[in-house]
Each structure stands twice: as C-alpha cells, then as structure tokens.
Amino acid sequence: MSTVRERSGPRKVSRPPRAAPGRPGGRDGARPGSLWPYLLIAPAVLGMLYLLVYPLARAVLISFQDFRLRQLILGDADFVGLRNYRTLLGDPQFWEVVRRTFVFMAVNVAAIMVLSTLVALMAERLGRAARTVVLSSLVLVWAVPVVAATTVFQWLFHSEFGIVNETLTGLGLSSYEGYTWFAHGGTAFAIVVVLIVWQSVPFAAITLYSALVTVPAELYESARMDGAGGARVLRSVTFPLIRPIFMLVLSLEVIWTFKAFVQIWVMTCGGPGEATTILPVYAVQTALAGQRYDLGSAASMLTVLLMSGVLVLYFRQLFRQEGEQL
C-alpha cells in the first residue's frame, strides 16, 4: 500500500499525519456541537441537493410517468408505474443500443488500457529528454477541448480533402479516393473509437507512469539477480505493485466511455442510421427528438443503474487507497 501513498509524491503539498482532522485531543477541532462546520458546508450541500439530488429524483419520477410534449407544457403527468421500463425492455431496438454500448465500451477501454500501459512502460525506460517530449505531447493532447478535437477529426477524415484519404490514396489504395467515412456505420463507429482513444490515452498513460516511477529500483535489481527475464519482472514485480492504480484507471475509463456523449453528438449525432447510438445518445434522442421524455428518462436511469455497478468498484478501490484520509 505504500506505493499508493507515494504516488502523490510529485504533489507539492504532502499531508502530514498530524494535520489529520479529528485526532484525539485536537486543540484545533471546533467544540462538538458547534454550528460553524455546518454553516461552512451549507452552500455546498444545498448545491448538491438542488443541482444533483433533485434532478436525479425528478428523472426517476418522470420515468414512472406518462410524460410527453403535452405534459411538458401543461403539467399534470399521470403515473403509469413501470410501463416505460416495460416498453424499453421489450423493445429490440433498445437491446441493440445496450449491446452496442457494451461493444463500444469494451473496444475503447481495451484499446485505452493496452496503449496507455505500453506508453507508460515506454516513458519509464526513456532518457530524460525524450521522456519530457513524450509526456509534454501527452499533456498537450489532454488539453485539447473535446469539441475542438472532434472538429479536427472530422477534417482529418474529410471525404474529399481530408489528409487520411489523401495519404491512403497516395499509398496506392485508390478505393479510398473520396471515401465517405461518416456515411458508413462501421467506419463512423471506428472513427469515434479512434477519437476517444486518442483523447483518453494521455490521462491513463500519465497516471500509470506516475505509479510506475514509485516502484523501488531495488525490487527490479533483485528480481534480475534472481534471473528473471523482462516479461517475468513485468508480471511478477511491476504489475502487482501498480495494480491498484491500474484498476482505478480502468474503472474510470469504463465510466467515462460509458458517458461519451459530446464526441458522438457533435460528430455523427448517433448516425449514420443508428451505428454510433450508445445509451446516453439514445436517451437524449428519445427525449428531445421524439418528445418522449418519459422513455428518455427511463433509458437514462437504466444507464445510471448499469454504471453504478462500475462506480461501486471504483469507490471501493479509491477508499482502499485513500481511506486513511477520510
């Protein structure tokens, strides 16, 4: 577990244990029963209640009602019990969206984790100058706003003047001349995946890299002296030590790809046809385009339900590491 705490090594401010709140005999703690702490957190609590809990409760409510354009304007929505959920779960199209969401997530997360682990291992082995260049370019990618990156990818894969088509044609693949990437389901899906992987690898790679550098060099040396080869060292020394961080990044990436909305909405709006419609996109389309706010809410709530499973894993991992700070 010590690797975990050392992870925050580069951070400038460390947390000396004596600053831990609630320590016995803390001269510093307010008198029990004092109102001050509650006044200090009141705005944050109110914010969370009104801007998170209330919308969530409202979404649950709408998902149990008959809520369409009429009810949006006039109010007085009727309760229909589980009808919306039954409609959704009985709709083969919905199951197709669920299936696509999981495929989308699996492909993205697998690519992100493999590539970022490779990049992190590579960065660790590089010399100082080369490593700075690699890490800086990763940070640069991380910083590109989603909408800007999405627009740039549309331009890269533009059918007529896009650099990708021109390069492929130049390499002799003449079938790519004027190829319309976004008109075909498979290729549109692939481009969204490439975009999301490109945007997500920097966070994962940098986090894994900062976990890797906390592995003590002596461990590697003694493993080598025991005659372990490179692959063996990786499997028996490196991976077990960075496993907690790896799992943390993995669960974060699962959640984030599950929520990938902006890239798809800006690039394809879920199309062509339905090829890139994943759950969040489906929910918004159902609600705002089809005026079925009830079905859209039900789909959103099912998304949250599916996601919360991963969230629980994430929090377990997080608190196992940071538990002592709570």
Partner 1 sequence: MSTSRPSARRALRRLPLHAAAALTVVICLFPVYWMVTTAFKPSTDIQSYDPRLIPRAWTFDHFRRAVGADGFALFWRNSILVTLSAVLLALVVALGAAYAVARLRWRGRRQFVLAVFIAQMAPWESLIIPIYIISRDTGMLDRLPTLTLIYFMITLPFTVIVLRGFIAGIPPELEEAAQVDGCTRAGAFRKVAFPLLAPGLMATSLFGFITAWNEFTYANFLIIKQQDSRTLPVWLSSFQSTFGTDWGATMAASTLFALPALAIFLALQRHVAAGLASGGVKG
Q: Return the range that interacts with partner 1 (CB under 8 A); candidates 6-14, 97-105, 185-193, 224-232.
A: 6-14
Nearer Cβ to partner 1 (189/286): 286
Q: Are 270 and 281 in contact (CB under 8 A)?
A: yes
Nearer Cβ to partner 1 (36/79): 36
Check residue 231 for interaction with partner 1 (CB under 8 A): no
Residues 28-67 interacting with partner 1 (rule: CB under 8 A): 28-30, 32, 34, 36-41, 43-45, 47-48, 51-52, 54-56, 58-59, 62
Question: Encoding tokens for residue 325?
Answer: 């700070």
Q: Are 147 and 266 in contact (CB under 8 A)?
A: yes
Check residue 140 for interaction with partner 1 (CB under 8 A): yes
- Rounded-to-integer distance, Cα 220 and Cα 227, Å: 11
Nearer Cβ to partner 1 (77/275): 77
Check residue 229 for interaction with partner 1 (CB under 8 A): no
- Residue 116 falls in which region: left (phi positive, over 0), alpha (psi -120 to 50) or beta: alpha
Q: 3-state class of 322 per DSSP?
A: helix
Check residue 207 for interaction with partner 1 (CB under 8 A): yes
- Rounded-to-integer distance, Cα 143 and Cα 59, Å: 32
Check residue 79 for interaction with partner 1 (CB under 8 A): no
Q: Please report, as a single letter, which amino acid is at residue 210.
A: S
Draw the binding track, 277-306, toward partner 1 (x: CB under 8 A; -: no contact): ---x--xx--xx----x--xx--xx-xx--
**Nearest CA-CA partner of 184 in 276, 279, 282, 92:** 276
Report, in Å, the least distance between residue 47 CB and partner 1. Answer: 6
Check residue 324 for interaction with partner 1 (CB under 8 A): no
Nearer Cβ to partner 1 (40/106): 40
Q: Is 31 exposed, middle or buried (0-12, 13-18, 19+ CB in 10 A)?
A: exposed
Q: Return the range that interacts with partner 1 (CB under 8 A); candidates 84-92, 217-225, 226-234, 317-325.
A: 317-325
Residues 175-194 interacting with partner 1 (rule: CB under 8 A): none
Q: Please report, as a single letter, which amino acid is at residue 27.
A: R
Q: What single string gives the DSSP state of each residue in 132-195?
A: HHHHHHHHHHHHS-HHHHHHHHHHHT-TTT-HHHHHHHHTT-GGGTT--GGGSHHHHHHHHHHH
Among 119, 196, 237, 254, binds partner 1 (CB under 8 A): 119
Q: Are 107 and 198 in contact (CB under 8 A)?
A: no
Report, in Å, the least distance between residue 271 CB and partner 1. Answer: 15
**Nearest CA-CA partner of 310 in 268, 248, 263:** 248
Check residue 315 for interaction with partner 1 (CB under 8 A): yes
- Rounded-to-integer distance, Cα 120 and Cα 289, Å: 43
Among 86, 155, 226, 289, binds partner 1 (CB under 8 A): 155
Check residue 100 for interaction with partner 1 (CB under 8 A): no
Check residue 234 for interaction with partner 1 (CB under 8 A): no
Nearer Cβ to partner 1 (15/86): 15
Check residue 264 for interaction with partner 1 (CB under 8 A): no
